[in-house]
Every structure is written in structure tokens, then in C-alpha cells.
Amino acid sequence: MLLARSHAETGMRSLGAIRSNPDLSALETAAEWDVQATQAEVRRWETEDMLTNLRADHARVEVADQVAASRA
């Protein structure tokens, strides 16, 4: 996830540099697409991390329920 965030930050800086230089204006559309793609990758990693945490929490609850049921 850190790498994806780093790529997104680099893309934003590149886009800013492209926008500030009229000679590079032809690259702006491609740079915008790149920024959008890297931001989507960050969101994907964040979502996967959240789902991993939810699955782990669910597994802990299931184990605790099984332990409680076996003791009863």
C-alpha cells in the first residue's frame, strides 16, 4: 500500500509539473489518467486491507464462539 501511495504522490507532482510547463501540455491528459489509475490502486489496497481486517475479526469471533460452545 505504501508503494501505491508513493506512486500516487509522484503522479500528482508530475501532473503539477506538466501543468506548469506549456511545452508539456500535450502530456496533461495522459498524466491525469495516470493519477486516476494510481489513486484507484490506492483505494483498492485500502479496501483489501479493510476486508482482511474484517475477515480476521470474523475468524476470531467464530473461534471464540466455538470455544464457548465446547465449554458449555
* Each residue's pLDDT tens digit, 10-51: 999 999 999 999 999 999 999 999 999 999 999 999 999 999
Q: Is the distance from CB of 42 to CB of 25 less than 8 angstroms?
A: no
User: What is this structure's pTM?
Assistant: 0.74
Report d(CA 34, CA 12) in Å as an integer.
9
Q: What is the DSSP letter of 1?
A: -
Q: What is the dihedral of CA 16, 7, 37, 19, to 10 degrees?
A: 10
C-alpha cell at 53: 481486517
Confidence band of 2 (pLDDT split at 50, 70, 90) = confident
The neighbour count for residue 20, using CB atoms within 10 Å, is 8
